[in-house]
Amino acid sequence: MSDHSEQNPAAASGETTAKPSHVYHRENVDRYIQANREMEATRRHLADASEAIHELEGSEDVAVFQKQIDLLKRRLYEQPEFFHQVFISEGSNAITWEFQQPELGKDFIRAFWNLLVREDAMSTVLMRFIWNVPLGYKRKFIRALDTHMKDRYPMFEGLSQGWPAENGISPYIRPPAERCKDFDLVSQGYLGYMGLGYSAREVELLVWLEVLRDKQCEDGPCQVGVEIPDQEEPKGGCPVRIHIPEVLRLMGEGNFRRAMEVITESNPLPNVTGRVCPQEVQCQGVCKQTKRPIEIGQIEWYLPQSMKLSADSIDDIGEVVSPWAKADRPPIAVVGSGPSGLINAYLLSKEGFPVTVFEAFHELGGVLRYGIPEFRLPNELVDDVVQKIRLLGGQFVTNFVVGKTATLESLKRAGFWKVFIGTGAGLPKFLNVPGEHMNGIMSANEFLTRVNLMQGHREGSETPLPETDGKHVIVIGGGNTAMDAARTARRLGGKVSIVYRRTQEEMPARVEELHHALEEEIDLKVLRSPKAFLGDEKTHFVSHAVLDIMELGEPDASGRRRPAATGREDTIEADLVIMALGNATNPIVKDSEPDLKTSKWGTIEIVTGQETSVDDVYTGGDAARGGSTAINAAGDGKKAALQEINERVPFNASEIRELVARAEHYTKQGQARAEIIAVTDLGLGIVEMEVRAPLVAKNARAGQFVRVLQAEKGELIPLTLADWNSETGTITLVIQGLGSSSKMINRMQVGEALAGVAGPLGRPSELHRYENGETVVFTAGGVGLPPVYPIMREHLRLGNHVTLIAGFRSSDVMFWTDAGERVEELRAEFGEQLDVIYATNDGSYGVKGFVTGPLEQMLEQNKAGNGRTIGEVITIGPPLMMRSVSDLTRGYGVKTVASLNSIMVDATGMCGACMVPVTIDGKMVRKHACIDGPELDSHIIDWDKFLPRFLQFREQEEKNKLRHGLN
Ligand code: FAD
């Protein structure tokens, strides 16, 4: 002490009166603080008052003072630890003395807390001090907070009871009555306390108090899990092996920033995974504080979020030369922008690879965006990750469906060295019970997509939502998806019940979500399983669910007790039924790549590490695992990036530059604006449009369609391709303005751009060469003519005879039929190979009546053994016309195909909205127009059940039209 006295203002005061040592130490500490404050104040005063400085500059006082400051500064810069030592030796003696007393006094704890709140070097020392004292002292500290500080911090009240094992400070959760009316964040975490008036530093200390509960267990089960005899995988732990004990130690010692760095070394998505991981079965599930595990998840997202709020991000990327410009590593394609794809893209971009992420939707984030609602996971967090990837030079191409817009092989041909498939498991499962086809029954994917992705509940959105306000909504399932759907419906005013076939204990949802759902007055109907749905015969809307009452039997393969029907039933009201039964893997990628091996569940097989059966193609996340978790997906994406894709590059520098140039060109084509190049008004609300979409045009085949998003807040609608030109990179669409979206498209002008065009989607037409001169008959009703046109052309090119029966209301709404127009051009090109019959309802042109008239004549002729034999009939147009054609040909046993553009949302099979009930071997089976179609055997379609689906959202569509003045 004495040898430091000349630098220590407290010692320099020369006070030597004999006092008890703790008083002496405490006074020194106080004086030290006081002196520092005064010096700081004087310095500021001097700096501000420049005139005064001028005057004072020459004075002796100032010179002495300046010397003192310079000396202090020098010591501070050269030996900061010196001040710590001074403080530690002085202050900690005083503090130790206090801690040796039976309890900490009120004045002391308040002063101590105030020092902690200061957030300076000293407060860090104090944090470290507390972190390092024995548990008994820590308890004393918590008792003092509980006893003396609960007036200012009500969360301290009772904290000392059972602390640390059984008690901690809970994060702030908004009250159920308030939160279930909006989509704002429910669990506001520790930062939620800022909304109650606490400062950021006070909140940091609340987090620190939670961390103080940690035992620093040597075996670190939260990180590595717990070994279970005879089991390969440990129980629990962190799938990406975040060094949790180390993070807690650093935070305990006040080094929050370093703790954050340690987390991001293992997991670049802590702000996401901290909120959605099932911590109760992972890190917290094996925490040795068994009664009340440490809030590891909350702490995990607190760190990045608090740094974000204070604009103190540890991963400010700064100036980066884009890997595309450097071109010293070969390009990588990432398919899908869920957590597995985003992590993969982030890490590879960081390693200097030029990366393009190809995403089927118009928005990025996968389930994190379209599945998990904003009240659990704000979209801005996904945007943050996307932004980081962009800053590292990563590129994104949206509305790009791999397997349709391009194959894996064509991505490689386009210059991409390796491909990571992170396409998730987006194909919803259904129960296949009677009545499931009814309106008002949909998958959770569809419901959540309409709300989360398309924002159907917001003013101005074009996407219709089912009626929920005051309605009975039942959600079938017990996982996170069920909770999200139920809580979303609750926020939209529904009276919501969750129907689950086991009991609450077996529910696979995150415990927190289930708990929140119950708090939000969502009813649980356990040991119930839907047996059938009943509905209104006129409206075709569901009205009731008949539930089997279940009981639990022996455990099944999952270890959970198997539910079995008791034979008893329960019938409940249901205006909306949401199926949350899990998802299977979408077959689109697999179907386009025969060498890509998949399991019997459709998941992509991993051959070694994360590599698939196709060379240089990797996978991970739900695509490989089936429905899993975000952190597992992130772990797979990381492993594939760092341990497998980032390996020795087998190209020389000029080869790499060439690959980069090609992949960059391809990426730009994918990102091209869907600009409208030409518009032709075909009359009576029908418009023909030529739109730039080079990659769609390159891959389009007859019979396919595109999914169009008119504007950002628009609705996704399917439109069949009327034509395309791969050389000009354009597609032709013909749109009849019926709903508000199609009407708004029809108002667009040359030079404007659609917000998104994805495609070509659906299966191309199956083309068969008829060798015996049979004719292929097309019945096209109204705007059915444009989709018929390219299929007809392919048949003609194949050498088939074609009969076109084109029906219109009257001659004034006919199009493409004059000389020089498409139909007549075909006739000119193919001569007698093409017969054309026009029919108008009013007889103003061609045959009077519907298309079924001439068709029936041909069928009758065939029956009598006359005329050209009909090979098949392809019918496209209004649903009622297709049905009539189908009913007619059924009697004659002539193969008939209908092309169904039903109500689609995602148009890739993810939502199940385009369900077509068909009967196969006497059983009703669900087909999906976007995956199995759009062309389906019309004779197996159950038209009675299918047609009402077109009218499902009629009311909402009428409202939208009114809103836009489009009636
Ligand atoms: P996904 O997140 O599914 O992303 C796949 C992406 O690929 C999508 O954007 C999709 O559009 C795109 N894609 C698909 N096919 C193609 C194609 N052919 N071409 C281009 N792009 C394509 N997990 C948790 O850990 N905690 C939770 O609380 C939780 N809640 C959930 C709630 C819901 C409603 C759902 C549905 C899932 C939830 N999960 C939760 C699961 C978790 O979200 C997933 O395990 C995780 O998102 C999987 O990530 P992924 O990267 O494999 O795929």
Residue 400 CA, closest ligand 1 atom number: 20
- The single residue listed with the structure tokens 């305990």 is 252
pLDDT at 82 over 70: no
pLDDT band, residue 34 (cuts 50/70/90):
low
Q: How far apart are CA 355 and CA 411, in angstroms?
A: 12
Centroid of ligand 1 to alpha carbon of 366 (angstroms): 5
Report which of 596, 597, 586 is spatially closest to residue 412, judged by C-alpha positions. 596
Write the DSSP symbol of residue 244: H
Single-letter amino acid code for the residue at 877: G
User: What separation in Å is there between the alpha carbon of 3 and the centre of ligand 1?
Assistant: 65
426 lines ligand 1 (CB under 6 A): yes
* pLDDT(585) > 90: no
Cα-to-centroid distance, 300 and ligand 1 (Å) = 21
* CB of 272 shorter than 6 A to ligand 1: no
Confidence of residue 16 (pLDDT cuts 50, 70, 90): very low
605-636 pLDDT, tens digit per residue, is 999 999 999 999 999 999 999 999 999 999 99
Q: Which atom of ligand 1 is nearest to the CA of 623?
A: 52
Q: Which of 12-26, 206-220, 340-354 has the lowest mean pLDDT?
A: 12-26
Residue that has been written with the tokens 């590593």 in this structure: 329
Cβ(455)–Cβ(558) below 8 Å: no
- Ligand 1: does its nearest atom lie under 6 Å from the Cβ of 699? no
Residue of 275, 386, 480, 593 with the most ligand 1 atoms within 8 Å of its CB, for mutation:
480
At residue 499, the pLDDT reads 98
Ligand 1 site, residue 420, Cβ cutoff 6 A? no
pLDDT value of position 7: 37
Confidence of residue 46 (pLDDT cuts 50, 70, 90): very low
Shortest CA distance to 294 belongs to which of 231, 247, 327? Answer: 247
Q: Which two tokens stand for residue 752?
A: 């404007």
- Whole-angstrom distance, CA of residue 935 vs CA of residue 929: 7
Comparing 309 with 939, the larger pLDDT belongs to 939
E strands of 606-662, at which residues?
Answer: 617-619
Indicate whether residue 402 lines ligand 1 (CB < 6 A).
yes
State the pLDDT at residue 179: 96
Give 448 Cα–ligand 1 centroid separation in angstroms.
13
Atom of ligand 1 nearest to the CA of 426: 3
Cis? peptide before 787, omega within 30° of 0:
no
**How sure is the predictor about 27, in pLDDT bands with cuts at 50, 70 and 90?**
low
Reduced to 3 states (helix: H, G, I; strand: E, B; else coil), residue 361 is coil
Biggest CA–CA distance in the chain, Å, is: 128
Calculate mean pLDDT across residues 883-893.
96
What is the pLDDT confidence band of residue 56, given thresholds at 50, 70 and 90?
low
pLDDT confidence bin for 386, thresholds 50/70/90:
very high
Q: How far apart are CA 87 and CA 630, in angstroms?
A: 46
**606 CA distance to ligand 1 centroid (A)?**
18
Q: Which residue has the higher pLDDT, 866 or 950?
A: 866
- For residues 412 and 408, give the distance between their C-alpha atoms in angstroms, rounded to a whole number: 6
Closest by CA position to 901, among listed 686, 642, 704: 704
Whether the pLDDT of residue 421 is over 60: the answer is yes
Cβ of 371 less than 6 Å from ligand 1: yes
Ligand 1 atom closest to residue 906's alpha carbon, by position in its atom list: 11
Residue 510 CB less than 6 A away from ligand 1: yes
Q: Contact, 490 vs 498, CB < 8 A?
A: no
Quick check: bond before 229 cis, omega within 30? no
Q: How far is the CA of 338 from the centre of ligand 1 (A)?
A: 5
Q: Give dist(CA 144, CA 533) in Å, integer.
A: 60
**d(Cα 148, Cα 809) in Å, to the nearest integer?**
85
> Dihedral sign, CA of 655, 659, 660, 662?
positive
Taking the C-alpha atoms of residue 40 and residue 953, their distance in angstroms, rounded to an integer, is 69
- Distance CA(838)–CA(850), nearest Å, equals 10
- Averaged over 502-522, what is the pLDDT? 94
DSSP 366-416: THHHHTS-TTTS-HHHHHHHHHHHHHTT-EEE-S--BTTTB-HHHHHHTT-
In angstroms, rounded to a whole number, what is the distance separating the alpha carbons of residues 474 and 176?
20
Residue 8, pLDDT score? 35
Ligand 1 and 180: CB distance under 6 A: no
Contact 925, 432 (CB under 8 A): yes
Q: Ligand 1 centre and the CA of 109: distance in Å?
A: 49
Closest ligand 1 atom to residue 340 Cα is 51
Q: Which residue has the higher pLDDT, 42 or 581?
A: 581
Residue 510 has pLDDT above 70, yes or no: yes
Ligand 1 centre distance from Cα of residue 554 (Å): 32
pLDDT band at 6 (very low <50, low <70, confident <90, very high): very low
Q: Region of 816 please: left (phi>0), alpha (psi -120 to 50) or beta.
A: left
Phi/psi region, residue 178 (left: phi>0; alpha: psi -120 to 50; beta: rest), is alpha
Eight-class DSSP state of 833: G
Query: Listing from the earlier edge strand, what are the strands of the sheet with 801-808?
Result: 847-848, 834-840, 801-808, 775-781, 870-876, 896-899, 935-937
Q: How far does the centroid of ligand 1 lie from the alpha carbon of residue 862, in Å?
A: 53
Atom of ligand 1 at shortest range from CA of 361:
11
Amino acid at 785: L
Q: Partners of 707 in the beta sheet?
A: 718, 758
Which residue bears the tokens 């079965």? Answer: 281
- Note the pLDDT tens digit of each residue in 99-112: 889 999 999 999 99
Q: Among the residues of 520-611, which ranges form H helices?
A: 588-592
Q: What's the burial of 924, exposed, middle or buried (CB within 10 Å: 0-12/13-18/19+)?
A: middle
221: helix, strand or coil? helix
Atom of ligand 1 nearest to the CA of 620: 52
pLDDT of amino acid 558: 73
Do you find a cis peptide bond into 331, omega within 30 degrees of 0? no
Return d(Cα 527, Cα 501) in angstroms, integer. Answer: 4
Averaged pLDDT for residues 919-942: 90
Ligand 1 close to Cβ of residue 358 (< 6 A): yes
pLDDT at 10: 34
Cα 339 to middle of ligand 1, angstroms: 7
Burial class (CB in 10 A: 0-12, 13-18, 19+), 674: buried
Q: What tens digit of pLDDT does each residue of 663-698 get?
A: 999 999 999 999 999 999 998 889 999 999 999 999
Three-state DSSP string of 2-16: HHHCCCCHHHHCCCC
pTM for the structure as a whole: 0.88
Please work out, in degrees rounded to the nearest 5, the angle formed at the alpha carbon of residue 330 by the alpha carbons of 329 and 332. 120
359 pLDDT band (50/70/90 cuts)?
Answer: very high
Q: Which residues of 726-761 are buried (b: 16+ CB within 10 A; e: fewer)?
A: eeebbbbbbbbbebbbbbbbbebeeeeebbbbbbbb
* Site to substitute for ligand 1 among 358, 369, 370, 372, most atoms within 8 A of C-beta: 372
Regarding predicted confidence, which is higher, 908 or 427?
427
Nearest-CA residue for ligand 1 atom 26 is: 276
- Pocket lining: 700 vs ligand 1, CB cutoff 6 Å: no
- Distance (Å) from CA 432 to ligand 1 centroid: 24
pLDDT tens for 775-810 read 999 999 988 999 999 999 999 999 999 999 999 999
Confidence check: pLDDT of 136 > 90: yes
570 beta partners: 547
| Residue owning the nearest CA to atom 28 of ligand 1 | 276
Cα(424) to centroid of ligand 1, in Å? 5
Give per-residue burial for 41-64: e unless 16+ CB within 10 Å, then b: eeeeebeeeeeeeeeeeeeeeeee
Closest CA to 778 of 872, 869, 859: 872
Across the chain, what does the average pLDDT equal? 89
For the CA of 365, the nearest atom of ligand 1 = 9
**What are residue 467's phi and psi, to 5 degrees?**
-65, 130
How distant is the alpha carbon of residue 484 from its chain centre?
13
d(CA 634, ligand 1 centre) in Å: 11
Query: Cα torsion at 457, 459, 460, 464 (round to 10°)?
Result: 30
Give yes or no for residue 580 CB within 6 A of ligand 1.
no
Pocket flag, ligand 1, residue 484 (CB < 6 Å): yes
CA 408 to chain centre: 23
Asked if residue 964 lies in contact with residue 744, where contact means CB atoms within 8 angstroms, the answer is: yes
Checking phi first, is residue 942 left (phi over 0); if not, alpha (psi -120 to 50) or beta? beta
Compute how many other C-beta atoms are within 10 angstroms of the C-beta atom of residue 645. Answer: 25
C-alpha distances out from residue 422 to 43, 334, 358, 589, Å: 58, 7, 10, 11
CB of 427 sitting under 6 A from ligand 1: no
> What residue ranges in 148-235 does DSSP mark as E strands?
172-173, 187-189
Examine the pLDDT at 654 and tell me if it is beyond 70.
Answer: yes
Residue with tokens 């398919």: 335
Query: 35-44, 206-215, 415-424 — which is least confidently predicted?
Result: 35-44
* Distance in Å, CA 273 to ligand 1 centroid: 13
Beta bridge partners of 838: 806
Q: Which two tokens stand for residue 323?
A: 């890997």
C-alpha of residue 635 to centroid of ligand 1, in Å: 14
Which parts of 700-739 fold into alpha helices (H)?
Answer: none
Percent of the chain scoring above 90 in pLDDT? 73
| 373 C-beta closer than 6 A to ligand 1 | no
401 CB less than 6 Å from ligand 1?
yes
Question: Which pLDDT belongs to residue 401?
Answer: 96
Does 41 have pLDDT greater than 70?
no
* CA quadruple 428, 434, 437, 438: dihedral sign: negative
Most ligand 1 atoms within 8 A of CB, residue of 407, 416, 423 to mutate: 423
- Distance of CA 623 from the midpoint of ligand 1 (Å): 9
Residue 173's beta-bridge partner residues?
Answer: 187
CB 888 within 8 A of CB 880: no
- Look up residue 449 and give its DSSP letter: I
State the distance from the centre of ligand 1 to the C-alpha of 344, rounded, in angstroms. Answer: 14
Q: Give me the amino acid identity at 351.
A: E
719-757 per-position pLDDT tens digit: 999 999 999 999 999 998 887 888 899 999 999 999 999
- pLDDT at position 555 is 86
Residue 327 has pLDDT above 80, yes or no: yes
Q: Atom 24, ligand 1: which residue's CA is nearest?
A: 629
Kind plus residue range of the DSSP H or E element containing 694: helix 694-699
In this prediction, residue 537 carries a pLDDT of 85
Nearest protein CA to atom 40 of ligand 1, as residue: 629
Q: How confident is the model at residue 597 (pLDDT cuts 50, 70, 90)?
A: very high
The count of other CB atoms within 10 Å of the CB of residue 866 is 10
The residue with tokens 């006040």 is: 254
* Ligand 1 close to Cβ of residue 741 (< 6 A): no
- Is 134 exposed, middle or buried (CB count within 10 Å of its CB: 0-12, 13-18, 19+)? exposed
425 CA from centroid of ligand 1 (Å): 7
- Residue 182 near residue 491, CB atoms below 8 Å: yes
Q: Report the nearest atom of ligand 1 relative to the CA of 583.
A: 36
